[in-house]
Amino acid sequence: MPETLLEVRNLHVQFDTYDGVAEVINGVDFKLNRGETAALVGETGCGKSVTVKSIMGLLPGADITAGEIIYKGQDLLELSDAERHARRGQEISMIMQDPMTSLNPVLTVGEQMTDVLKWQGERRLSITDWIQDKVSRKSDADYRERAIEMLADVEISAPERVFSSYPVELSGGMRQRVLIAIALLSEPNFLIADEPGTALDVTTEAKVLDLLDELVEDRNTSVLYITHDLGVAREVSEFINVMYAGEIVEQAPTAELFDNPEHPYTRGLLESIPTLSSGIGGGIEGHLPDYTDPPAACRFADRCPYAEPKCSEVVPYPRKTSDDHTVSCHLFDGENAYDRHQALVRENVNIGSPPWQGGSEDETEPDVVADGGNSK
């Protein structure tokens, strides 16, 4: 039986805005097993980054109104700021989305890596402490050796030169490798990779993803990839969580999700991916709902080609359609995945069965091309 490393339960996150309270994350549940690589997939603005920053404790302006984030059996939301900071520095790490802005432009790569090694997991450092440390000129030889070794591990050909360089002197791909090196310095148990190839050209992105996959496999690190691209998710993950408007609408092992996508949103995402045979996909009509005034029931109903009136009246709870496959859609029957939805089960909504299962739609699996240029 796989050991669960992280479990997010019924997470709700909201923000106070000028337009009202934005209910961005609405009851998110997912798990990550030790040594597993999973993906959180959805279009831009669906709440992926808010979810992972909630896990990291990097959303000071957010209000987490409900839920649990269980890491190694302990709820991170119950820890003090200092305890959570220590966990974040030593056991949990994150590769930020944009390599162009995630590095400090006034410090060399070596200074930034040395500071991570020296201060990770410590109490929050004041500017006075930091300056005193710099002035004291303590020997950082061991830190330097470790940092250069890590730069070499991420296949930077001249690690000593990059160690002494400022970020502006490096290409986008090189900066991304530096970010990966920094994230892996502490050899974390759990790594979050937030759109690690967003700002890169397709060739560089493919190389970075392959490199990251090799590194985490060697270290048996559990990884959660954040991406808008199902092609990339298929390339790098064993399990996929599909998110729409702050909710997980479908979860399944990667191969099963591509063989048998169930939620209309998942199918729309797949149809939007460029293919070798049909070119650019058709996309999904409409846009994400307003988080300050979200739909009361299914948040995808306004964009769904199969929606019925009941979809806008009764929340489509997650139901199990197989052992490892859940979907939040009234088109499917199945046992409720979480006990808290028992009252919704009794609503007994019947809007028919999925039209595509009757053979009325093309069942051919799309020939997916990831942003990284790899096809499978």
HSE (side-chain half, CA atoms, 13 Å) at 3? 9
Please state, in angstroms and rounded to a whole number, the distance separating the CA atoms of residues 93 and 352.
45
Asked if residue 96 is part of any domain, the answer here is: no
Predicted confidence (pLDDT) at residue 296 exceeds the cutoff of 60: yes
Structurally, the chain folds into a number of domains equal to 2
The answer to whether residues 310 and 247 belong to one domain is yes
Alpha-carbon distances of 279 from 22, 68, 372, 374, rounded to whole Å:
37, 43, 16, 15
Asked if residue 11 is part of any domain, the answer here is: yes
Asked if residue 75 is part of any domain, the answer here is: yes
Per-residue pLDDT at 243: 98
Mean pLDDT within 4-29: 96
Q: What percent of the chain shows pLDDT beyond 70?
A: 86
Please state, in angstroms and rounded to a whole number, the distance separating the CA atoms of residues 91 and 213.
18
Element (H, E) at 170: none
The answer to whether residues 204 and 56 belong to one domain is yes
Per-residue pLDDT at 121: 55
Looking up residue 336, the CATH number of its domain turns out to be 3.40.50.300
Mean pLDDT within 172-201: 86
pLDDT for 124-139, tens place per residue? 555 665 565 555 555 5
Asked if residue 23 is part of any domain, the answer here is: yes
Per-residue pLDDT at 204: 75
Domain end, chosen from 185, 209, 230, is at: 185
Helical spans, DSSP H, in 45-169: 48-56, 81-90, 109-119, 127-136, 141-153, 159-163
The answer to whether residues 218 and 143 belong to one domain is no
Per-residue pLDDT at 273: 74
Asked if residue 293 is part of any domain, the answer here is: yes
The answer to whether residues 334 and 276 belong to one domain is yes
Please, what sign has the CA dihedral across residues 325, 326, 331, 336? positive
Please, what is the average pLDDT of the chain?
86
Summary count for the chain: helices (H), strands (E): 12, 13
Mean pLDDT within 257-277: 87
Per-residue pLDDT at 132: 58
Per-residue pLDDT at 375: 39
Predicted confidence (pLDDT) at residue 364 exceeds the cutoff of 60: no
The answer to whether residues 376 and 235 belong to one domain is yes
Predicted confidence (pLDDT) at residue 12 exceeds the cutoff of 90: yes
> In the chain, what are the helix, strand and coil shares in percent, each to the nearest 5?
35, 25, 40
Per-residue pLDDT at 40: 97
The answer to whether residues 167 and 210 belong to one domain is no
The answer to whether residues 240 and 196 belong to one domain is yes
The answer to whether residues 217 and 358 belong to one domain is yes
C-alpha 247, offset from chain centre: 13
The answer to whether residues 248 and 371 belong to one domain is yes
Mean pLDDT within 320-347: 92
Per-residue pLDDT at 306: 94
pLDDT for 197-245, tens place per residue? 766 677 777 887 888 888 788 888 899 999 988 888 998 999 999 999 9
Lowest mean pLDDT among 36-40, 84-88, 200-204, 339-343: 200-204
Q: Which of 205, 156, 207 is nearest to 178 (CA)?
A: 156
Are 332 and 319 contacting, i.e. CB atoms less than 8 angstroms apart?
Answer: yes
Please state, in angstroms and rounded to a whole number, the distance separating the CA atoms of residues 43 and 27.
18
Per-residue pLDDT at 278: 59
Structure tokens given for 360: 């009325």
Domain end, chosen from 156, 185, 214, is at: 185
Range of the domain at 158: 105-185
The answer to whether residues 226 and 357 belong to one domain is yes
Asked if residue 341 is part of any domain, the answer here is: yes
Mean pLDDT within 183-198: 86
What secondary structure does DSSP assign to 286-314, as a single string? Answer: S-PPPTTS--SS-TTGGG-TT--GGGGTS
Structure tokens given for 128: 């006075």
Predicted confidence (pLDDT) at residue 95 exceeds the cutoff of 50: yes
Asked if residue 99 is part of any domain, the answer here is: no
Per-residue pLDDT at 280: 62
Asked if residue 248 is part of any domain, the answer here is: yes
The answer to whether residues 228 and 244 belong to one domain is yes
Structure tokens given for 222: 């559990």
Q: Which of 128, 105, 113, 131 is nearest to 183 (CA)?
A: 113
Task: List b or e across 265-294, with b for residues whose CB sees 16 or more CB atoms inside 10 angstroms.
Answer: bbbbbbbebebeeeeeeeebeeebbebeeb
The answer to whether residues 201 and 289 belong to one domain is yes
Domain end, chosen from 134, 153, 185, is at: 185
Q: What percent of the chain shows pLDDT beyond 90?
A: 54
